[in-house]
């Protein structure tokens, strides 16, 4: 339609006005009525408006037109619910359809779509079904296309897997048939909009004051740090928070598969991978971006996650004048993290002796911060470990802080962070650089983890916080 207008009436083959319900000739359910109206609306809508307008402008332009269309075409039995129908169809057209209500629920940290009929969410560390369903596989695929189209990516039978992000920064992974046998699958990891700073983490026992002071000194002193943890433990969010301690005058380059980091400094360059075309060409990988970042005169390089051969270039950057760089890695312990980095180093394809690889790792990485998701769903920093060098063929390390915890009779994790009584090898260097260090006496118990307060957000929500809001409001 001209001027981006929606035709408010549909017509039959004879050119006569046709009500949406006349297709069935009988009463329809709400879902059937919405499907009928959705199909009619798609035919009447000028689709070029979606390319020409931003999401906010699109929402403002479409809302009154859709309502007018619905009021004139909705079945009489649903006429009193025209506003609700218009809202749901708005979500279908420019939102996430049935998932939109879950996106609006700030208590949800993860949304999992397993085909058309099984949709689950995570709240406070617990997974629960929603009862929400898609009408069909075609309906689900339509929403998937809207998600990936927003950032210029695609997913089809030739490329059935894709990583994407929502406008609010939430991370999305999609896999469709033939790779997903149970139907198209979407996993959305949310970043909630709670305003958060380091004091909140301390209050909820996710980290202690002394641990935070030490990490702040390590970052200010340009130590190379790896944040390690299992899937969903909060690595990216912790990395984002820690990056706020980088001096504002430094030039920072971030490298990610799907841009999630949101640094508060002004001098930040954000790089993101590019998906290859249908023939497998013209893709830009993490390793390509890390190599390119070395030519951009960065003071520090932050890689959202090392998971392959880019580990070689990341370690080389740490060893060649880019002190203070940071990354995350999937591992259950600091020792496992070193083993994974060594394995990824070898994925680069070079025939390098095992001892040389370990020496390279030991000289590049200064500290590993281990974070974990505990049995009650809470997320805690469990270890801060310093790399001290090599003894024979073994990389040596020492724990500076660790979490001493147990599970009480109610299934709640209790305990405290404690200092191991070891003075870090880097302490003299950091002190010489003017960094403030905590007391490393073993007798000090840093923080007692509080029992959950039903009226307060738990640490699970803390590590799902919207990082941009955190940094801007620090």
* Short-list 333, 315, 334, CA closest to 325: 315
Residues 394, 378: contact at Cβ < 8 Å?
A: no
DSSP state of 99: G
Query: What are the DSSP calls for 363-421, one per residue?
Result: HH--EEEEEEE-TTS-EEEEEEEEEEEEETTEEEEEEEEEEEEEE-TTS-EEEEEEE-S
Per-residue confidence (pLDDT) for residue 205, from 0 to 100: 84
Per-residue confidence (pLDDT) for residue 231, from 0 to 100: 85
First CA to last CA distance, the chain: 48
Task: Please tell me the distance from the alpha carbon of residue 218 to that of residue 180, in angstroms, as a whole number.
Answer: 44
Phi, psi of 83 (to 5 degrees): -65, -40
Write the CA distances from 236 to 262, 284, 304, 462, integer angstroms.
Answer: 10, 21, 7, 12
Task: Please tell me the distance from the alpha carbon of residue 129 to that of residue 147, in angstroms, as a whole number.
Answer: 22
Question: Who contacts 251 (Cβ-Cβ below 8 Å, separation ≥6)?
Answer: 267, 269, 296, 297, 298, 299, 300
Percent helix, strand and coil across the chain, each to the nearest 5: 35, 25, 40
Residues 471, 264: contact at Cβ < 8 Å?
A: yes
Mean pLDDT by 10 residues, the chain (474 residues): 46 41 47 74 64 60 74 74 75 80 87 94 88 89 85 83 84 92 91 65 86 95 95 85 91 87 87 79 87 92 89 87 92 95 88 90 96 86 96 94 87 86 94 93 56 46 42 39
**Residue 230 token pair:** 């299992």
CATH of domain 99-189: 3.30.450.370
pTM metric for this prediction: 0.73
The CATH 3.40.50.300 portion of the chain extends over: 198-472
Write the CA distances from 241 to 87, 212, 235, 246, 333, integer angstroms.
Answer: 36, 11, 10, 10, 21
- Under CATH, to which class is 198-472 assigned? alpha beta
The CATH 3.30.450.370 portion of the chain extends over: 99-189
Per-residue confidence (pLDDT) for residue 54, from 0 to 100: 58
Per-residue confidence (pLDDT) for residue 246, from 0 to 100: 93
Per-residue confidence (pLDDT) for residue 96, from 0 to 100: 85
């Amino acid at each position: 339609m001209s001027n981006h207008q929606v035709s408010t009436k549909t017509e039959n083959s004879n050119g006569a006005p046709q009500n949406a319900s006349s297709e069935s000739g009988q009463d329809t359910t709400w879902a059937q009525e919405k499907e009928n109206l959705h199909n009619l609306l798609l035919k009447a809508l000028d689709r070029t408006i979606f390319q020409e307008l931003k999401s906010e402008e699109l929402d403002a332009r479409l809302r009154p037109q859709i309502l007018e269309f619905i009021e004139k075409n909705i079945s009489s039995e649903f006429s009193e619910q025209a506003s609700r129908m218009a809202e749901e169809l708005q979500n279908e057209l420019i939102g996430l359809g049935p998932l939109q209500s879950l996106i609006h629920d700030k208590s949800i940290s993860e949304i999992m779509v397993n085909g058309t009929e099984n949709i689950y969410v995570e709240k406070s560390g617990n997974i629960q079904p929603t009862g929400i369903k898609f009408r069909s596989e075609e309906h689900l695929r339509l929403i998937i296309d809207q998600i990936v189209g927003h950032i210029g990516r695609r997913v089809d039978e030739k490329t059935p897997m894709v990583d994407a992000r929502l406008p609010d920064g939430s991370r999305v992974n999609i896999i469709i048939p033939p790779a997903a046998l149970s139907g198209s699958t979407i996993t959305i990891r949310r970043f909630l909009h709670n305003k958060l700073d380091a004091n909140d983490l301390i209050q909820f026992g996710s980290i202690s004051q002394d641990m935070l002071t030490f990490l702040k000194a390590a970052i200010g002193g340009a130590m190379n740090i790896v944040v390690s943890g299992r899937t969903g433990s909060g690595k990216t969010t912790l990395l984002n928070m820690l990056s706020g301690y980088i001096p504002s005058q430094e030039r920072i380059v971030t490298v990610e598969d799907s841009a999630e980091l949101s640094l508060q400094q002004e001098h930040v360059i954000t790089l993101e991978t590019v998906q290859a075309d249908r023939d497998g060409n013209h893709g830009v990988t993490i390793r390509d971006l890390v190599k390119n970042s070395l030519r951009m005169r960065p003071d520090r390089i932050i890689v959202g996650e090392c998971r392959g051969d880019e580990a070689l270039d990341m370690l080389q950057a740490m060893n060649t004048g880019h002190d203070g760089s940071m990354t995350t890695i999937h591992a259950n312990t600091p020792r496992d993290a070193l083993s994974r980095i060594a394995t990824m180093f070898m994925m680069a394809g070079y025939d390098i002796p095992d001892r040389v690889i370990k020496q390279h790792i030991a000289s590049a990485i200064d500290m590993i911060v281990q974070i974990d998701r505990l049995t009650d769903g809470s997320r805690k920093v469990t270890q801060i470990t310093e790399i001290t060098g090599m003894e024979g063929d073994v990389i040596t390390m020492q724990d500076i802080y660790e979490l001493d915890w147990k599970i009480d009779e109610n299934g709640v994790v209790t305990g405290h962070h404690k200092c191991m009584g070891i003075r870090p090898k880097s302490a003299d260097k950091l002190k010489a650089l003017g960094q403030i260090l905590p007391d490393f006496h073993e007798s000090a118990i840093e923080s007692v983890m509080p029992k959950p307060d039903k009226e307060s957000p738990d640490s699970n929500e803390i590590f799902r916080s919207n990082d941009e809001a955190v940094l801007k409001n620090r």
